[in-house]
Amino acid sequence: MIEDLVDRLRLLRTPGIGPVTFRQLIMRFGTPAAALEAVPDLARRGGGKAPAIRSHGDAEREIARVDKLGARFLALGQGLYPRLLAELEDAPPLLIAKGNLNLFDRQAVAIVGARNASAAACRFARGLAHDLGQHELVVVSGLARGIDSAAHDGALGTGTLGVIAGGIDIFYPPENQARQETMYEQGLVLAEMPPGTEPRARHFPYRNRIIAGMCGGTVVVEAAPRSGSLITARLAAEAGREVMAVPGSPLDPRAQGCNQLIRDGATLIQNAADVVEAMRPFESRLRSEAVPYETKYEELNGQDAIGLVEGLLGPVPVPVDEVIRLSGHSPGAVQMALLELDLAGRLDRHAGGKVSLRE
């Protein structure tokens, strides 16, 4: 088991291997150990050089560090890993968790919104989180300023889970240190990045997909157009989860994002009862068995497939399904060719299952 974790970490922390590539490798080769062995050859067949696979020692050091921090790893496809999150195509292969893991047993709902929200909206978020806690729901958010903090505070007594963009031991923003430390004790904190990672701009959308993906629904409270909260809402919708939004006056610019979400089909939320009603369809899915690695790909079609797939790709992202259709080859062969191009550093993977050739 510990060896499996070491191999997982080595594979996952290898540059160029993201969650989708990781999943493709496991689906093809069965175990992290077998995937690690195959990677150099795959990359060479894709026309690149072998990626610098993370060392055994590096992985063991990270495991020891997580252990020392009082945290633990959760592996996709195993035991405690959040069921709904496992359904995402780009579910994190490993999460680092610190706090009360029993919170995973209960239905979760996300409350997200603007960092610079109005005092009234923060008060609303806190009250909503509190009331949802009374309904046994776990409140998930991102431990950011504004709405996130208010949501965590409101649900601290009943169960709240914070997903952070940096390492499990990093406090961002710094003024949230006390809140995050309290949640280690009374709630739960999740991180995808290795300990010590300072969050950068690109980490926040990754964090948002975890928030949206582990919850049956996401409530947006006060969000500006083109804000991170709307990205979370879009990710929730793409994952087939309930998108909910709290309306506001059209005269208030901070309400525009939520009002637009409602126009686009999000459920208008006025109180906790509205959320509970909207979340009802997800109660049963919490109990269902997720099967994250269900498909084994067919055998390869040989080197020809790579040339063909490469010829179908360009700098503009196209859906993998379309590449498969145009290629005339089996999905397994095309996926393998993509995997090889990917490991060779010649492929970019985009949202919505799209890929492009790296220029």
Q: Which residues bind a copy of itself (CB under 8 A)?
A: 120-121, 123-124, 246-252, 255-256, 259-260, 262-263, 267-271, 274
> 58: buried, middle or exposed (CB in 10 Å: 19+, 13-18, 0-12)?
middle
Nearer to a copy of itself, 78 or 267 (CB): 267
- Using alpha carbons, list the distances in angstroms from residue 116 to 145, 256, 298: 7, 14, 51
Give whichever of 123 and 296 is closer to a copy of itself, judged by the CB atom.
123
Amino acid at 148: D
Here the tokens at position 66 are 């997580």
* Backbone phi, psi, residue 318, to 5°: -130, 150
Report CA torsion sign: 125, 80, 12, 303: negative
| CA-wise closest residue to 53 among 41, 39, 42 | 39
134 vs 295 by CB, closer to a copy of itself: 134
Question: Do the beta carbons of residue 278 and residue 245 sit within 8 Å?
Answer: no
User: Minimum distance between the CB of residue 145 and a copy of itself, rounded to whole angstroms?
Assistant: 20
| Angle at 350 (CA atoms; ends 212, 238), nearest 5 degrees | 30
Q: How far is the CB of 151 from a copy of itself (least distance, A)?
A: 15
If the CB atoms of residues 79 and 250 are measured against a copy of itself, the closer one turns out to be: 250
When the beta carbons of 6 and 269 are compared against a copy of itself, the nearer one is 269
**Locate tokens 């690109």: which residue?**
202
- Residue with Cβ nearer a copy of itself (273 or 291): 273
**Secondary structure of residue 287 in the 3-state scheme:** coil
Exposed, middle or buried, 311 (CB in 10 Å: 0-12/13-18/19+)? exposed
**Residue among 290, 62, 319 nearest 197 (CA):** 62
Nearer to a copy of itself, 162 or 248 (CB): 248
Helix axis angle, 147-154 relative to 119-134, nearest 10°? 30
Shortest distance, CB of residue 119 to a copy of itself, whole angstroms?
A: 11
Cβ 269 to a copy of itself, closest distance in Å?
A: 8
> Residue 21 contacts by C-beta under 8 Å, 6 or more apart in sequence?
339, 342, 343, 349
Report the nearest approach of a copy of itself to the CB of residue 272 (Å). 11
The least distance separating a copy of itself from the CB of residue 255, rounded to whole angstroms, comes to: 7
Residue 285 CB, shortest distance to a copy of itself, in Å, is: 24
C-alpha to C-alpha distance for 144 and 176, rounded to whole angstroms: 8
Residue nearer to a copy of itself on the CB measure, 73 or 124? 124
- Shortest Cβ distance from residue 258 to a copy of itself (Å)? 8
Decide whether 80 or 268 has the Cβ nearer to a copy of itself: 268
Q: How far, CA to CA in Å, does 195 sit from each of 120, 189, 213?
A: 35, 13, 22
One-letter amino acid at 325 equals: R
Enter the tokens of residue 131. Answer: 């009331």
User: What is the smallest separation between the CB atom of 176 and a copy of itself, expressed in angstroms?
Assistant: 25
